A and B are shown apart, each in its own frame.
Chain A
């Protein structure tokens, strides 16, 4: 099993220079052909997790381990990072309008990335760019490559950004809220594309706040709350029977699309604690409906069933 693990975060701990912990003890795996959904609300640390994998966190102190294809990434030099980003792993963002340079055509920006990593002529690079855009479902890719970011619709821009991310054949694609700015019909197109990329054998790490998106595109899910992973496992199992009270509450808060209409939606009272005011015990205890005295001790993320882990005293044997 170990051979096919592409990315392995092991007890990753991330803190500010003043000692405030942002991520605590995050352990995750992404295998080839898998899509891991990292789901949580604003401020839960899901994007920070993605950024730390890409080495995009200057000024934060990291400990633990991030291994990519067996190689430790924490402590890499800038030059080594640059070689890895794009070729080994690539990232796409929520807003492709700000991820592209507005004053150059999208084709030129994708060509540039290919030529930075590989010794190919301009003509070859452009041929690859056009082929990639076509594969991403961009109509008339040759003409699209010559256009500037503002001339494309949001959906096409996101396709172009995915084409850029895939241009050097990365083994891991990290997508940070890739469809949040898109309409649902276009979102469905982009999610379908991500599923195809996953099925072609790449590893995908999808950061999102939307449980529905995770359920429809991912094979595995990690639920993050206040800088900690509180539950993880295969998507189908977690959606069918969420174990952690936070996961349960998140799923219940989604308004139903059929069946009877409830008078009131179940809500989660209060809000997540700030990183510098995190409770010593279970981080979710202040908002949890099952809270009890032994929640004052932080529960460890333990395997409770084959492939499923949860950090909650309810499942202590």
Chain B
């Protein structure tokens, strides 16, 4: 498999008042192969959305580089980036705020191809609507006339209009009821198989991620703490944080486990050493002094922990 998207030592910092710095993403390196689905998971504020946006050039990184199909796209001007945009598209969480309420669905779906001067718009729209399971009768209607699940289908259709190689989907199912969520999860899986499009899924829901992704990268306070094959990682997590996240998922088939203590620390004043040591049930003195680097544990897996569970 060839690498489609690669990030090297990517950081995104925001300067705040009083000379403080918010480190949203710190020193992240990752690769997405053609046709592969990578999930970025973690709790609110861990930097997963910022990373997803920085990967496709929505906001320049503070440092580090991003390569798309072998060429460097970080640091390019907006104008120069435009050539790359059709190849990477984004699906957002809240489908009600990503459509212009005053324009018809047909108009909105046609816009990406009009902007990039493509021909055969009507034919392409008809084909994509069929692929996402909607009929052409939707074209003259307005966004508010659809349910959340239908709007998310349209959202996905729009992102696919230009035939991208990469789709970044930020919490594509978290605003949906569980029965509709299952429909969208299945749809995204089918589309990946039929179109071969690579995906970066940003999600906090490990069960959804397990269903949709090939690989998983778990983030905590702006850094990747564990990465690997999604089934292997969720079967036997190597990082205590991954295990805690997994245990905290409420499931009908098991009792409530003892919760992790405390909240996620502020990314403005991250703890010294391992960022997770303040909440880690297995923390040792070394964890508060020395930050663990990502290192290999087993086949295709990495973890940043002094005392991994594997």
**In this assembly, does B97 line the interface, its C-beta being within 8 Å of a C-beta of chain A?**
no
Q: Is the CB of B259 within 8 A of A192?
A: yes
Inter-chain CA distance A256–B231, complex, in Å, is: 11
Per-residue CB contact flags for chain B residues 227-265 toward chain A (1 = under 8 Å, else 0) read 000010011000000001111111111111111110110
Nearest-Cβ distance from residue A268 to partner chain B, whole angstroms: 4
Chain B residue contacts of A185, Cβ below 8 A: 43, 244-245, 248, 259-260, 279
Q: Which of B207, B210, B263 contacts A186 (CB 8 A)?
A: B263
Chain B min CB distance to A204 (Å): 14
Complex CA distance for A266 and B210, rounded to whole angstroms: 15
Q: B181 near A253 (CB under 8 angstroms)?
A: yes
B204 interface contact, C-beta 8 A: yes
Decide if B139 is an interface residue (CB 8 Å cutoff). no
Bitwise interface map of B from 168 to 209 toward A, beta carbon under 8 Å scored 1, else 0: 000000000111111101100110000000000000101110
- Does A189 sit within 8 A of B, measured CB to CB? yes
Cβ A209 vs Cβ B43 within 8 A: no
> Chain B contacts of A255 at CB under 8 A?
182, 185, 207-208, 210-211
Tell me the nearest residue of chain B to A43, going by C-beta.
Answer: B177
CB of B112 closer than 8 Å to a CB of A: no
B256→A209 contact, CB < 8 A:
no
Does A191 sit within 8 A of B, measured CB to CB?
A: yes
| Chain A residue, CB-CB nearest to B212 | A255
The residue in chain B whose Cβ has the minimal distance to the Cβ of A217 is: B256
Q: Is B289 an interface residue (CB 8 A)?
A: no
Check B259 against A212 for contact (C-beta < 8 Å).
no
Q: Are B250 and A271 touching (Cβ within 8 A)?
A: no
Query: How far does the alpha carbon of A310 sit from the alpha carbon of B189 in the complex, in Å?
Result: 35
Q: Given known contacts A155-B263, A185-B244, A188-B257, is B251 in contact with A212 (CB within 8 Å)? A: yes
What residues of A have a CB within 8 angstroms of the CB of B207 in the complex? 254-257
Scan residues 144-191 of chain A and give those whose CB is less than 8 A from a CB of chain B. 153-156, 183-189, 191
- Looking at the assembled complex, report how far the CB atom of A133 sits from the nearest CB atom of chain B, in whole angstroms: 15
Interface residues of B (CB under 8 A from A): 43-44, 147-149, 177-183, 185-186, 189-190, 204, 206-208, 210-211, 231, 234-235, 244-261, 263-264, 279
Residues of A within 8 A of B (CB): 41-42, 153-156, 183-189, 191-192, 195, 209-217, 239, 249-251, 253-258, 261-268, 271
Given contacts A185-B43, A213-B250, 20 further A-B contacts (CB under 8 A): A42-B148, A42-B177, A156-B263, A183-B43, A184-B204, A185-B244, A209-B177, A215-B251, A215-B253, A216-B255, A254-B207, A255-B207, A255-B208, A256-B211, A257-B210, A263-B189, A264-B189, A267-B182, A268-B182, A271-B149
